[in-house]
Amino acid sequence: MTLTRRTAINPLPWILGEGGYRLDRAVLDDAMTALSAIGYTHLTIELPPGTSPAEYGRLLADHDFAPAPGYFSAAFHDRDRHREAVEGIKRHAQTHLELGVDSAFIAADLLPERITRPAVGAGADAGRTLVVAEGLAAAAEAGAAEGVRYGLHPHVGTAVEVEQEVRTVLDATEGSALRFGPDTGHLRWAGAVPEKLIADYADRVLNVHLKDVDARAADGARQRRENYMVATGGSKLWTEPGRGAIDFDAVLAALPDAFDGWFVIEVDVPNIGTPAESSAASLEFLRRHPYFTARSESAD
């Protein structure tokens, strides 16, 4: 069945292997070969070290893929590093433009304390949240000046983790170039109701990460006080869209009628089967859901 929305997948199940994070051409070759056979057509932009945008574009084309919005993060909690972040996002934006993509996700870097105690707002600091908001707005403005829009991606383990921090950043940056790029799974794990936040900031939603949460695994990980890596890798907290606690009907209904942004599938560590089996289940969810197959103004 043909999808009528802009959809893509992040090949993290191949990149996050038993040996840790590995991003190189061999890994991407394997991922793209499998994902193309399953039926995906767009992949998030994530260049292996030493790879030029032109080389990455050729790699995508060799597997019949086109690029989709990627992800930028920086140490926004440190005001002294905001200028560094601005320069970094300019390069990130230029890569996206060279590949023909004009939007992306933006997040704060992971923090050790929150990796150790994820999804509970450990060490919350209202002043730090405002510093993060300041840096995110400056970076988003710089990206917009290059021609790429950026949406805030709340992420467990970062300084923008729990609902209050998400709202503080979005409220503090109202009127700036910073948009909203919600990740349904990260919001839910940290205690938020994704559809409520999306509805409240609907006019700023740029793109969406479709991620689901195994509620039982999340509850167990919290009771055992597991760190981020154990909760997501060992306890397999993430699951394929439609198999977990997220009410995707409500999430999709909360989006504006004319929404035409990207939906990016993310299942960092498969909950079922192999990376290919997990990715196939995620695509099947899209193909079963009328939101992604019904004709709409945005698809005409």
Tally of domains within the chain: 1
Does residue 279 contact residue 32 with C-beta atoms inside 8 Å? Answer: no
The answer to whether residue 19 scores a pLDDT higher than 90 is: no
Say if residues 42 and 7 touch (Cβ distance below 8 Å): yes
Does the pLDDT at position 298 exceed 50?
Answer: no
pLDDT of residue 1: 73
Looking at the domain assignment, is residue 90 inside a domain? Answer: yes
The token pair at 64 is 């019949």
Judge whether 136 lies within some domain: yes
Residue 18 has what pLDDT?
72
pLDDT of residue 300 exceeding 90, the answer is no
For residue 46, the enclosing domain spans 6-299
Q: What is the mean pLDDT of the chain?
A: 96
Residue 1 located in a structural domain = no
In three-state secondary structure terms, 278 is: helix
**Residue 127 falls inside a structural domain:** yes
The per-residue pLDDT for range 208-249, each reduced to its tens digit, is: 999 999 999 999 999 999 999 999 999 999 999 999 999 999
Judge contact between 237 and 188, C-beta under 8 A.
no
Is residue 293's pLDDT more than 90? yes
Q: CB-based contacts of 283: which residues, under 8 Å, 6+ apart? A: 9, 38, 39, 40, 265
Q: What is the mean pLDDT of residues 136-155?
A: 98
Q: Which residues pair with 208 in a beta bridge?
A: 263
Region 82-98: mean pLDDT is 98
Read off the CATH number of the domain in which 234 is found. 3.20.20.150
- Angle, vertex CA 36, rays to CA 240 and CA 234, nearest 5: 35
Average pLDDT over residues 105-133: 98
Question: For the chain, what percent of residues have pLDDT higher than 90?
Answer: 96
Whether residue 242 is contained in a domain is answered as yes
At 51, is the pLDDT very low, low, confident or very high (cuts 50, 70, 90)?
Answer: very high
**pTM tops 0.85:** yes
pLDDT confidence of residue 12: 97
pLDDT value, residue 49: 94
Judged against a pLDDT cut of 80, whether residue 17 lies above it is answered with no
* 299 or 227, greater pLDDT: 227
pLDDT, average across residues 261-279: 97
Model confidence at 254, pLDDT cuts 50, 70, 90, reads very high
Question: Is 199:252 a contact under the CB 8 Å cutoff?
Answer: no
Which pLDDT belongs to residue 294?
87
Return the pLDDT at 299.
42
